[in-house]
Amino acid sequence: MEEGPYKFVRDGTGRVSRVIRIGTRKSQLARIQTDSVAAKLQELYPDVCLEIVAMSTIGDKILDTALSKIGEKSLFTKELENALERNEVDLVVHSLKDLPTSLPAGFTIGAVLRRENPHDAVVLHPKNAGKTLASLPKNSVVGTSSLRRAAQLKRRFPHLEFKDIRGNLNTRLKKLDDKEDFAAIILAAAGLKRMGWEDRISAVLQPEDCMYAVGQGALAVEVRAKDTDILEMVSVLHDPDTVLRCIAERAFLKRLEGGCSVPVAVHTYIKDSQLYLTGAVYSLDGSESLKETMQTSICSGGSCSEEVDERLQRVGVTATKIPADLQDGAERLGVDLADLLLTKGAKEILTVARQLNDAR
């Protein structure tokens, strides 16, 4: 039964429960990620009835073009947000790295879950078992649809060639294994781990070889900003350290006006109450780069102000249970680091990268 925008069900005892509809992409990985979030919510709210609604997005349908060439910022999110806007779903589970740093009006990220390993992984063709990127023969072809990965790895391994490879994880692994086109492909370690394919990881790339994408490895729950009950419900899923790291990363990217079509990379960690952010921009071929690190204090425990402004979004994230001053500090860190790179010529590097990519 439906009442206004909400849907309810009555069980055998006559008890009425609200149905919470969760939107997701149709891919196997998206379903696994969404199921993991649903399981956490069901555990926390056993009386709520959860229903999963799967749909295809532009990014799932256009498989013959590099992501950076399509030019649409919300490739994997638009259809899901449309369903959210039409009250067809109540929340949507995304990979945080797919969400633009500015969300459409009326939406917010109500939860950022504990981050899986954010690094990239090398998956070798079976015939290259035991090799590394460094030991692959000259002119070996490595598949990646990411300008960020290609720019960094061209710089680090100039003897290799890099070519686009599209499709979901299953498709890309099949393209690698069934043909001789690629010596290796680069994928996010988090996705491989969630799919149960950790045994395919030949190496995890460390920051000195390849820094990761903003938000990589973290899952985000997007909701309607005005749905305070749903916001409250999902807010318990927030992982404070992941939230602060990802606010800093997203603020950095937003200030640089980066996106899919430019090579921007980050690395963050928290140690001894300090949040460290390394950010970098690259030319498409990796020959030019700017890279800097900054840090900010994020005191924990009772010494911090506990006042939280529940209405404030930071780079699309609403975190009602995390002290506002910590979130402000993380956001400022991202902006300050971006400003530092901009003073050193980051805008020029990114403008040329964008123009060259558009012309490809």
Sheet of 161-163, strand order: 161-163, 141-143, 184-188, 120-124, 203-204
CA distances from 104 to 67, 247, 262 (A): 20, 17, 21
Beta strands in 227-305 (DSSP E): 264-271, 274-282, 289-297
- Catalytic residue positions, numbered: 98
Tell the burial category of 202 from Cβ atoms under 10 Å away from its Cβ (0-12, 13-18, 19+): middle
Measure the N-to-C terminal CA separation of the chain; round to a whole number of Å: 52
Query: Kind and range of the H or E element at 107?
Result: strand 107-112
**At a CB cut-off of 8 Å and minimum separation 6, what does 353 contact?**
147, 151, 261, 262, 263, 281, 282, 283, 284
Q: What distances in angstroms separate CA 117 from CA 132, 157, 204, one per listed residue?
A: 20, 23, 9
